[in-house]
Copies of this chain bind each other. A is one copy, B any other.
Amino acid sequence: MTERPLRADARGNQERLLSVAAVAFARDGTQTSLKAVAKEAGVGVGTLYRHFPTREALVEAVYEHEVTVLCDAAAELLRALGPADALRGWMERFVDFMAAKHGMADLLRPVLLSEADRLHTRARLRAAIATLLDAGAAAGVIRPGVDANDVLMALGGVTMIAGEEGQRALATRLIDLLLHGVRAPGLTS
């Protein structure tokens, strides 16, 4: 995002877009009109698209810090809980985070599958999951060799189908299924 220093005017426009978008997303959800965001930020819509080529790029930038907090939670959970409970807790936080940002689930696919991963969102989420999987495998409760990227994609799928408010019970059950899927053989509930 900062591979070349922006001119002063561009930097100001970008920051204004981010802060206006954060308020608009919180108020109206991530599907809010980008024309209205541009207008409220005092820039043309072409400027918005220049800085953030897609809606998901804008959303990803707006929520970058909160994704960092979520990723950091993996190590914290491991200090407080056993690895299987930490993994469950982290997954629930992931889905809750998405549900709390209205319309976020719709944007997940491009974010998780983008080639560029400009803000390293996918890489960071995957690393958090890998931390949890590694601890679980070391403790003998998670199958060794489970691919963290596969788990991230599966969790993304769960979120895409069950990541809206009001779907928490379904999300929990699908997380259960996923946890069964990564569990070491021979374990029973």
* Interface residue ranges, A against B (CB under 8 Å): 108-109, 112-113, 143, 146-147, 150-151, 153-154, 156-162, 170, 173-174, 176-183, 185-188
Contact = CB atoms under 8 A, between A and B. Distances in A.
A6 to B, nearest CB: 34
B181 A177 contact: yes
A161 B170 contact: no
Contact of A161 (B147, B156, B174): B156
Nearest to A152: B161
A161 B157 contact: yes
Given A178-B181, A180-B182, A109 B160 contact: yes
A9 to B, nearest CB: 37
Given A160-B109, A161-B112, A153 B181 contact: no
A65 to B, nearest CB: 25
A162 B143 CA distance: 23
Contact of A181 (B109, B161, B181): B181
A160 B160 contact: yes
If over half of A's interface residues share one DSSP class (helix, strand or loop), that class is named, otherwise mixed; here it is helix
A147 B160 contact: no
B170 A153 contact: yes
Nearest to A143: B180
Contacts of A162: 153, 157
B157 A174 contact: yes
A134 to B, nearest CB: 17
Contacts of A156: 157, 161
12 contacts: A109-B161, A147-B173, A150-B173, A150-B174, A151-B177, A153-B174, A154-B158, A157-B157, A157-B159, A157-B174, A177-B182, A178-B178
